[in-house]
Chains A and B, each alone.
Chain A
Amino acid sequence: MAHALADDQHGVTIPRQQGPLLQIQDLCVEYVLESGIVEAVDKVSFDLNPGEFLAIVGESGCGKSTLVFGIAQLLNPPAEVAGGSVTFLGRNLVTLTDKDLAAVRWKDMSVVMQSAMNALNPVKSVGAQFKDAMRAHGVTSQKEIAQRSAEVLKMVGIDPVHLASYPHQLSGGMRQRSMIAMAMLFTPELIIMDEPTSALDVVAQRSLMAQIKDLQRELGFAVIFVTHDMSLVSHYSNRLMVMYAGQVSEVGPTRKLFDSPHHPYTAGLTDAFPSIRGPKLPLTGIPGNPPDLARLPAGCRFAPRCPKVMPRCTTEPPPQYQVEDTLVRCFLYDSDGGER
């Protein structure tokens, strides 16, 4: 499946290399609990091209963080990958040993966590943490470490004097930026970001997004960006993937999903935030809550909240339909219009 990679916002076309960087095939993640097995990610498949910016959006508990942790092989019990494959640079990460994975992490793929306050070690200076990561990958020269650490910190707009600072001495925005700087130590091919901006306020959020996009353009890494705030990525991502209850409900070019959402859930999400300009309209959001993954509805998982629910939706799970360049999991796009 070919994806339009033209970055229409900035008029930059991302160079296309041979084949996708990352291929996810039928990835399933389960939580094995005493009360039974909960499928948090259910057969998710997608490809990511080099230099692409993919945003994954959805409400809390829809499995978006579990999915990226499954991709990065960072799941802890009771969660585990139950099936499928994650092919990154030609190797299946699911079957790699811990030692081989350690070599891939930071070097080829790095992860920026949601809360930098918890992800950074509070009793070590920022520079010491950079040093740890570099040493783990065989960089021993003090000079090289100091030089590279200062370089990446400058890239994210932080004065290198802060290498000596401890996390609590930095503002929330600076902490997130230093996490991103750390992720770039080895200029990886892929950076996974799990809600890196959700603890920041709008101005810091906006400048961090712009910075990520600038760095991406400059260095050419691919980004998987997880967020619950669709409006945040509207101008930055090439492709948008909407998740609901562990499944992909719609995936396609970002602009398309905003301008003409196909899935009723995507439409609900795009209508959920008030506008700062234009007419002031009363909004309702999406009524109800996402389903409990241990007790999923029989048919479509969104059916209980769906404004366009049909009799068929409550009994039969919908497959994904190809509608132009988007994939939609909804019977509305069946060839007979869902009527059967």
Chain B
Amino acid sequence: MTDGDSQPGPQRAAPGSEPLLRVERMSKHFKIGNTISRKALHAVDDATFSVGERQIVAVAGESGSGKSTLARVLAKIYEPTSGEIYFQGKPVSKIRSRRARLAYSRQVPMVFQDPFSSINPVFRVSHGVMRALKLHRPELSREQRYAEAVRVFETVGLNPGSEVLQRYPHELSGGQRQRVGFAQALAMRPKLILADEPVSMLDVSIRIGLLNVMVKLRDTEGVSIIYITHDLASARYVSDRLIVMYAGNIVETGPVEEVLGNPRHPYTELLLAAAPDPRAPLNASAEADRGEPPKVIDPAPGCRFRWRCPLAVDECQRVTPQLRELLPHHQAACHVATADTLTKAFV
């Protein structure tokens, strides 16, 4: 299989060390309308980023920003329209055989948003995890599979594992069900878990327990996680790096503390200002924003945030801003943003 080294990208890791996952100018467009329509909805456009080993990368943005589509392309539920994804240096588009596909799904499993519909209600929760083990780790004997199921359940905090395995989904709380989702993923000895809003349907009081599970998986099991969320506070709590998306584009990326402490893109500022924080005074300017991300159908060039942006200039109407490295490892796609002056559009 050929490797992807022939295509150096703008965001290459240090020479000689290929990151776990590297996404190069990946786009996903959906054809919309009737059969003769040529219109395309640009769900993700030109996404370039990478995920290292033992790293939690948060992807944040509003509904409709393309973050779930991004995760689904990475899970190979959708094929990208253009661009390439390299997993451990190998292009994912070259995966053809069933065996290679299974191996990829094993290493890059997904955890879904809704813990109430993502587990089969007519089977005990052991069913899903035992089947996954049988399918993806055929070398294990029946006893070994059971022991492994107990181990992964206890790793995600479902104690005692042997007892919880015998329960039906309806006997578990939402938080426990979501832990089952992570246990199923973990059973396959994954390299990278795609977690699509795993806590947004849970009560605030139990979210933190699940966030702690994610941190534990990174620190003790060595798993990388792409954590998709609209909650910047939880992204800050668990993740190492942050990617902010708006209307299909990555608008800002960098180390999470750096991006949130020193946001360069006005949209990141808006998200920050909108996060409810009882410890901070109310932010009046974020309330003035009543906009929503546009549906990106056959877009003309230009910044997609310009309609909501208080700082928009002429250039924003004409030229699509590209990600620029404004500070070390910290990039933003904005014509107005600079390295040293804060834009302060919403903060």
**A residues whose Cβ falls under 8 Å from a Cβ of B:** 9, 59-60, 157, 171-173, 200-207, 210-211, 228-232, 234-235, 258, 268-270, 272-278, 280, 282-286, 289
Contacts and interface: CB of A to CB of B under 8 A. Distances in A.
Given A59-B206, A289-B173, A204 B280 contact: no
Nearest to A206: B274
Interface stretch (B5-13, B98-106, B283-291): B283-291
Given A235-B278, A286-B205, A202 B289 contact: no
Given A232-B276, A285-B205, A285-B209, A276 B289 contact: no
Given A210-B287, A275-B233, A275-B279, A204 B63 contact: yes
Contacts of A210: 287
Contact of B292 (A171, A205, A206, A277): A171
Nearest to A258: B278
Given A203-B270, A204-B63, A285-B208, A231 B287 contact: no
Interface string B233-252: 11011000000000000000
Interface of B: 62-64, 173-175, 203-209, 211-212, 230-234, 236-237, 257, 260, 270-272, 274-280, 282, 286-287, 289-290, 292
B282 A235 contact: yes
A276 B208 CA distance: 14
Contacts of B234: 274
Given A206-B274, A276-B272, A284 B290 contact: no
A230 B208 CA distance: 14
B203 A60 contact: yes
Contacts of B232: 202, 276
A269 B205 contact: yes
A9 B282 contact: yes
Given A172-B63, A275-B233, A284 B208 contact: yes
Contacts of B289: 203, 207
A283 B267 CA distance: 28
Given A230-B204, A235-B282, A203 B237 contact: no
B293 to A, nearest CB: 9
A273 B274 contact: no
Contacts of B271: 202-203
A177 to B, nearest CB: 10
Contact of B274 (A202, A268, A280): A202
Nearest to B61: A201
B204 A276 contact: no
B122 to A, nearest CB: 22
21 contacts: A157-B290, A202-B232, A202-B274, A204-B292, A228-B204, A228-B205, A229-B204, A231-B204, A231-B278, A234-B277, A235-B276, A235-B278, A272-B204, A272-B205, A273-B233, A274-B208, A274-B234, A276-B272, A276-B275, A276-B277, A284-B208
A286 B232 CA distance: 21
Contacts of A275: 233, 277, 279
Contacts of B205: 59, 228, 268-269, 272, 285-286
B290 A273 contact: no
Given A59-B203, A203-B271, 15 more contacts: A59-B206, A171-B63, A171-B64, A203-B270, A206-B274, A207-B290, A234-B278, A273-B208, A274-B236, A275-B277, A276-B233, A277-B277, A283-B212, A284-B209, A289-B175
Nearest to A10: B282
A271 B330 CA distance: 31
Contacts of A277: 277, 279-280
A195 B131 CA distance: 37
Most buried by B among A59, A173, A200, A203: A203
Contacts of B230: 201-203
A311 B208 CA distance: 29
A202 B276 contact: yes
A273 B286 contact: no
B237 A280 contact: yes
A207 B231 CA distance: 15
A232 B277 CA distance: 8
Given A201-B63, A274-B234, A206 B287 contact: yes
Contacts of B212: 282-285
A173 B290 CA distance: 10
A275 B276 CA distance: 9
A276 B286 CA distance: 15
Contact of B208 (A9, A228, A234, A272): A272
Contacts of B175: 289
Nearest to B278: A234
B62 A273 contact: no
B197 to A, nearest CB: 9
A170 to B, nearest CB: 11
A276 B270 contact: no
Contacts of A203: 62, 230, 270-271, 274, 286, 289
Nearest to A172: B63
A111 B313 CA distance: 44
B277 A231 contact: yes
Contacts of A171: 63-64, 292
A277 B175 CA distance: 26
A199 to B, nearest CB: 9
Nearest to B174: A60
A285 B206 contact: yes
Given A228-B203, A272-B204, A272-B208, A204 B62 contact: yes
Contacts of A206: 274, 276, 286-287
A206 B284 CA distance: 11
Contacts of A211: 290
A275 B257 CA distance: 12
B36 to A, nearest CB: 23
Contacts of A231: 204, 276-278
Most buried by A among B231, B234, B290: B290
A276 B236 contact: yes
Nearest to A272: B205
A203 B286 CA distance: 8
Residue picked from B205, B237, B260, B276, most chain A C-beta under 10 Å: B205
Contacts of B270: 203
Contacts of A232: 276
Given A272-B208, A285-B209, A278 B279 contact: yes
